[in-house]
A = this chain, B = another copy of it.
C-alpha cells in the first residue's frame, strides 16, 4: 500500500460528567463543549445556523484487546430489563459498540451555540477528553429517505424505547 494512514486530533471533547454518568445518560446524551484547536478554527466559518453536527472521534479508552472483538450483544439494553442471554449475538459492524477493530466514534449532536472555536452542544455520548478527528455540519441529503432494518433489530428497539 502506497499510502500512510495518519490521523491527528483537531480538537477535544469537554464534559463535566464522569464516564459512568455519561453511560447512564444514553440515549439522550449530555451537554458539553467541543474545543477546536486554534490552528483549525478557520474551518468552522459558516457553521452557525446548522442545527446538528456529525462529530468523528477517536474512542481513546478502548484497549487493543477490546479492538479484537468481532461479535457483540447490545448490552446497553440490559438496563431496560432484558436478560443478556436473550440479546442476539451479532457482528460488530451491525452495532455501534465502541469495541471494534478501529474505535472511531460517530456522534450526532445538536449545536446550541458557537463561541469562537468552542462549540456548545447537547446529545453528547462521549467521555471527557475524547480526541476529535473531524466535524461535519449535518445536511438533510446525507440520510436516505427510507431505510429498513432486520427483524432482530426491530425487536431490540421495541424493548429499547419503553
Contacts and interface: CB of A to CB of B under 8 A. Distances in A.
Contacts of A95: 136-137
Contacts of A138: 144, 147
Interface string A82-97: 0000001111111110
Interface residues of A, number: 66
A48 B9 CA distance: 34
A94 B36 CA distance: 14
Nearest to A123: B144
Contacts of A104: 7, 56, 104, 133-134
A116 interface: no
A140 to B, nearest CB: 6
